[in-house]
Amino acid sequence: MDPGSFRDPSGLVYRRGEVLYRQIQQAGAADWKAYLDSGLHAKLVADRLIVEHEDASIEEALLPGAVAVIRPRRIDPISYPYEWSFSQLRDAALLTLELQSRALDTGMRLKDASAYNIQFDAGRPILIDTLSFEAAPATEPWPAYRQFCEHFLAPLALIAHRDARCGLMLRDFIDGIPLELAARLLPGRTRLNMGLLAHLHLHARAQRRSANDPPPTDGAPPPVRRVSETGQRALLDSLRRTVAGLRWKPDSHWSGYATSTSYSEAATASKGRIVREMLDAVAGRRAWDLGANTGVYSAMAADAGYRVVAWDQDAASVEAHWLRVRDGASPAILPLVGDLSNPSPALGWALEERSSFLDRDEPDVILALALVHHLAIGNNVPLDRVASLFGRLAPQAIVEFVPKEDPMTRRLLAARPDIFGGYTLDGFRSAFETTHRIVREAPIDDSPRTLFLLARR
């Protein structure tokens, strides 16, 4: 059973080998039928807003009590909100609102608004939780309003109005950023934004007030609250305008890095040719580009037929990369924010709800181009540890060695004593020797750098 699917009693997710299943329990039976009968599912699938599924036999249920079993298409790789750039999180938020809006049209509603229910598939956000809808009159308030604000609005507002690194707070707060915390961290001028004033600042205050309410008397029914249908849609419209109105202007030297490197034209051409030959030699399906920047070599891998995850620690580079992917540059690429020196940990209940960077599905090959000097010199990671991490990540690796005489490495050493005696081409070879076999070693023309194709031993 998927360790992230225990919260909702209406169903559960599990895997058998490579096949993903979702079992619908008695508790979710009526809503499941209403969802299919309303035609909502068919419309959402046609517009690629929800993952499609095939019906499976009830015999394939994992636990007793199943009323139906389905095989949803697997989305690969799974990523998490703390790995998304601003626009990825915003696109996921807008999809969530669109789904709720369409659900209202058919007498249904989204019963939750978890950012973890959205994944990225071929350059677009998509809902993966097929059991997210329930039948409800539009005159009931939206129970997921609070979750939407905590999972989406608060982090987006913090990134837009405070700092992009606030997105990483989602690692600590896996059920969304508490609104009173967001309200305290946001600049006072955000109170002049009507949407943020209402959905964030007043919302935080309303939560604080209700926390002081006395507990309900035993057996008393919860208060019945009603909204008009127009009010329901107005609230949704206001959330949409607020989210769509948030802007983040990245300011980073990395996103201009590709155009300001030390490469000559001949060296760039030579590097591109060798990387492509190595990608073709591996002939795998999945590649991870580590330190992808804005994705020059990710595009090359996609062109060579790979599905690529393009990791970079710089949110601005990932943002620029995502915007190009979303605009149709290459749907085979998923840019994500990740810092190799402190990658996403396992999180949540029993540390099993969200898997760590190392526990995602293994790629066939990793690209580590112009990266090792940042790890070895910028982060003081010994080369044999770099080799061992690369070996854990994938069976094959395309790695660029940037020696000390290269201007980029000289820059890293400019203000510090050189304590990196072993950082030489020979040192690189012997560090990788224990974990990898050198399949090919190719010096880049007109450059002191060398490319390696390495296979895990």
Partner 1 sequence: MPFLAYIDPGSGSMLLQVLLAGALAIPFFFRRVISDGWHRLRGSRDEPAQVEGGEDASTDR
- Contact positions toward partner 1, by CB under 8 A? 7-10, 97-98, 101-102, 104-105, 111-112, 136, 139-147, 149, 198-199, 202-203, 206-211, 213, 221-238, 240
**What single letter denotes the amino acid at residue 71?**
R
To the nearest whole angstrom, how small is the minimum distance from the Cβ of residue 68 to partner 1?
A: 19
Q: Which two tokens stand for residue 311?
A: 């990791």
The 8-class DSSP code of residue 15 comes to E
Q: Is the dihedral of CA 224, 232, 81, 50 positive or negative?
A: positive
Q: 203 or 271, CB closer to partner 1?
A: 203
Is the bond into 77 cis (omega within 30 degrees of 0)?
yes
Do residues 108 and 35 make contact, with C-beta atoms less than 8 angstroms apart? yes
To the nearest whole angstrom, how small is the minimum distance from the Cβ of residue 114 to partner 1?
A: 8
**What single letter denotes the amino acid at residue 133?**
F
Q: 76 or 98, CB closer to partner 1?
A: 98
Q: 175 or 277, CB closer to partner 1?
A: 175
To the nearest whole angstrom, how small is the minimum distance from the Cβ of residue 312 to partner 1?
A: 32
Give the closest residue to 115 by CA, choosing from 87, 140, 90, 142: 90
To the nearest whole angstrom, how small is the minimum distance from the Cβ of residue 130 to partner 1?
A: 15
To the nearest whole angstrom, how small is the minimum distance from the Cβ of residue 47 to partner 1?
A: 12
CA distance 22 to 295: 35
Residues pairing with 14 in the sheet: 21
Q: 126 or 337, CB closer to partner 1?
A: 126
Q: 41 or 240, CB closer to partner 1?
A: 240
Q: 141 or 407, CB closer to partner 1?
A: 141
CA distance 136 to 103: 10
To the nearest whole angstrom, how small is the minimum distance from the Cβ of residue 9 to partner 1?
A: 6
CA distance 63 to 56: 14
The answer for 48, left when phi > 0, alpha when psi is -120 to 50, beta otherwise, is: left
To the nearest whole angstrom, how small is the minimum distance from the Cβ of residue 178 to partner 1?
A: 11
**SS3 (DSSP) at 7:** coil
Beta-carbon contacts of residue 285 (< 8 Å; ≥ 6 apart) = 305, 306, 307, 364
Give the closest residue to 24 by CA, choosing from 51, 74, 63, 50: 63
Q: 91 or 112, CB closer to partner 1?
A: 112
To the nearest whole angstrom, how small is the minimum distance from the Cβ of residue 94 to partner 1?
A: 9
Phi, then psi, of 436 in degrees rounded to 5:
-130, 160
Q: 132 or 396, CB closer to partner 1?
A: 132
Give the closest residue to 357 by CA, choosing from 90, 77, 118, 2: 77
**SS3 (DSSP) at 302:** helix
The 8-class DSSP code of residue 254 comes to G
Q: What is the DSSP string of 375-390?
A: IIIIS---HHHHHHHH
Q: 230 or 264, CB closer to partner 1?
A: 230
Strands 333-337 and 307-312: parallel
To the nearest whole angstrom, how small is the minimum distance from the Cβ of residue 2 to partner 1?
A: 17
To the nearest whole angstrom, how small is the minimum distance from the Cβ of residue 40 to partner 1?
A: 12
- Cβ burial of 395 (10 Å; 0-12, 13-18, 19+) is middle
Query: Which string of b and e fits 50-60 if b means at least 16 CB within 10 Å?
Result: bbbbeebeeee
To the nearest whole angstrom, how small is the minimum distance from the Cβ of residue 184 to partner 1?
A: 16
Q: 61 or 131, CB closer to partner 1?
A: 131
Q: 124 or 360, CB closer to partner 1?
A: 124
CA distance 435 to 455: 8
